[in-house]
Amino acid sequence: MNDLEHVRLKKMHQLKAAGEEPFPRRVSRSHYTSEAIEAFLAASEGEVVEVSVAGRLRSIRKMGKITFAHIEDAKGRLQLFFRANDVGTDQLKLFNETFDLGDFILAQGGMFKTRSGEITLRVAGFKMLAKAIAPLPAAKEEIIDGERVVHAAFANPEARYRQRYADLAVNPQVREIFRSRARIIRALREFLDQRDFIEVETPILQPIYGGAAARPFVTHHNQLHQDLYLRISFELYLKRLLVGGFERVYEIGRDFRNEGVSFKHNPEFTQLEFYMAYADYRGIMDIAEQLVAYTAEKAAGSKVIQYQGHTIDLSPPWRRLELRSAINEYAKIDIADYATADSLRKAMIAQGNEPSQSSTRGKLIDSLISNYVEPSCIQPTFLYDYPRDISPLAKSKPDDLNTVERFEGFIGGMEICNAFTELNDPFDQEQRFKEMARDYTPEDEERHPTDEDYLRAMRYGMPPNGGFGLGVDRLVMLLCDCKTIREVILFPHLRSKED
């Protein structure tokens, strides 16, 4: 405990000695701060508006026998005016000596307007609601031409993420990101609910992982003596539900991938997946662009957004590019000319790339997308028709068995979504699992293990359907103009560190 905390602890004891409880149980608040101001504005001349408000002390200005302060609650800020004539000399002294920035307090009295024009609460009575022992990272603010200017704001990224509670407490714009995030998720649900989708919950602990190319986290059930995986996607469970007779299902939840951390990757992240019977990837494309545009409109107020200096128009229809021509355009390689991994690798090396020696053709193509195409897709773009070997759950094109009916959506240079005409042929699916076993080394954890139960489900009959996955965190990044995923996840993953 540092000196500042010792001082506050002493004040807490001083409060107790004066008969005040530093952490009382019950609070009687009548108004949010914003409501108190509205009530004052709505009142007629001379009418006294009595309120009691609760919040955290964010500024204190002591001026002898009067003190000004601001409290902040969920709806805004309100200035408090303490005057010896109103609260009594002893009470003012108690406030000045034992109340600090960061304390939660209740204040009651009548509303009025100060000489400088600020609508303010003339405090008649007040009490401590929760004493803050640790000082919040102090920042001072001023309003210049209506703009809030913060001085010495709490800005150290590591400290902000490790102590997100302090970050949220002192940085209102951070709280606003998470309000937007909630609006975005609400809009996604609304859109799907309006179209007869039902929301479901499927297992997070899975005996066999699948549905994406990713390394899983492994855990263990002690009593069952069984290893379990934290899901890397919801796909295989949601499609089992189509077998069960639900035609439109979706889930919003957490996926876990045991991979690197970057500005757009967190080990746990939020995913939306939906599956729709009797739709193919073309139909899903139409819905995907509508879903994102609807969400932007609902949560950000417009289909046109600003992202990292770019103006991005999310209005449908989005640009649609065949994957082959996109790679040809941005990487200057026509993948149709290179039917094998080896020939494609040589072509990539000839252009100065350093592709991995063990990669399949599909993985090489994937790296061309990431390196050349993705960064160029600032305006919303669908790339469609992907290589078979990196898409083991997608149905192939009728005229080209090595290409599947799959698309990915890119916005702001980031992959946002992924979808395909889902494979519903149990024999073809079994073949795909075998191909994975053949083409991927056993150590390659991106290899899908064969899921026999999933194959059994498919043998009962799965309606033709289209499926869709959306990175919710990345959508929030776009709509909130955040450069890193850590800004949109409340408690992003950081290495452990002893304080």
Residue ranges in contact with RNA by CB under 7 A: 2-4, 7, 11, 59-66, 68, 70, 79, 81, 83-85, 97, 100-101, 114-118, 120, 135, 137-143, 151-159, 161, 260, 262-263, 354, 371, 483-484, 486, 494-497
- Nearest distance in Å: CB 64, RNA: 2
What is the number of other CB atoms lying within 10 angstroms of the CB of residue 187?
20
What secondary structure letter does DSSP report for 394? B
Smallest distance, RNA to C-beta of residue 232, A = 18
Cα(90)–Cα(186) distance, integer angstroms? 50
Q: Comparing C-alpha atoms, which of 74, 72, 73 is closest to residue 60?
A: 72
Output the smallest distance, CB 264 to RNA, in A. Answer: 10
In the complex, what is the shortest distance from the CB of residue 380 to RNA, in angstroms, rounded to a whole number?
A: 21
Nearer to RNA, 60 or 455 (CB): 60
Nearer to RNA, 1 or 42 (CB): 1
Nearer to RNA, 44 or 116 (CB): 116
Angle value at C-alpha 182, between 177 and 184, nearest 5 degrees: 90
The secondary structure of residue 217, as a DSSP letter, is P
| Beta carbon of residue 76, minimum distance to RNA (angstroms, whole number) | 13
Buried b (16+ CB within 10 A) or exposed e, 308-339: eeeebebebebebbebbebbeebbebebeebe
Cβ at position 83, least distance to RNA in Å: 5
3-class secondary-structure state, position 407? strand
Q: CB-wise, 135 or 449, nearer to RNA?
A: 135
Whole-number minimum distance, CB 147 to RNA, in Å?
A: 12
> Smaller CB distance to RNA: residue 119 or 411?
119
- The answer, yes or no, to whether the previous bond of 317 is cis (omega within 30 of 0) is yes
Are residues 105 and 87 in contact, defined by beta-carbon separation less than 8 angstroms?
A: no
Whichever of 166 and 437 has its CB closer to RNA, that residue is 166
Closer residue to RNA (CB): 235 or 374? 374
Q: How far is the CB of 69 from RNA (least distance, A)?
A: 8
Q: How far is CA 80 from CA 67, 131, 142, 391, in A?
A: 8, 18, 17, 62
Secondary structure class of 411 (helix, strand, coil):
strand
Q: Which three-class secondary structure state does DSSP give residue 433? A: helix
Q: Which residues touch 232 (CB under 8 Å, ≥6 apart)?
A: 209, 210, 211, 212, 214, 215, 216, 255, 256, 257
Secondary structure (DSSP) of 99-151: --TT-EEEEEEEEEE-TT--EEEEEEEEEEEE---SPP---EEEEETTEEEEE
Q: How far is CA 152 from the centre of its chain?
A: 27
Nearer to RNA, 133 or 393 (CB): 133
* Signed CA dihedral, 109, 122, 25, 33: sign only: positive
CB of 114 to RNA, least distance (A): 3
* Pick 150 or 277: Cβ nearer RNA: 150
Q: Which candidate, 227, 130, 162, 246, places its Cα nearest to that of 493?
A: 162
Residue 166 to residue 342: CA distance in whole angstroms: 53
Taking the complex as a whole, the smallest distance from the CB of residue 32 to RNA amounts, in Å, to 19
Please report how close the Cβ of residue 157 comes to RNA at its closest, in angstroms: 4
Cβ nearer to RNA, comparing 225 with 495: 495
Q: What angle do CA 322, 328, 329 make, to 5 degrees?
A: 90
Q: Which helix (H) or strand (E) holds 248?
A: strand 248-256
Q: Which is nearer to RNA, 93 or 189 (CB)?
A: 93
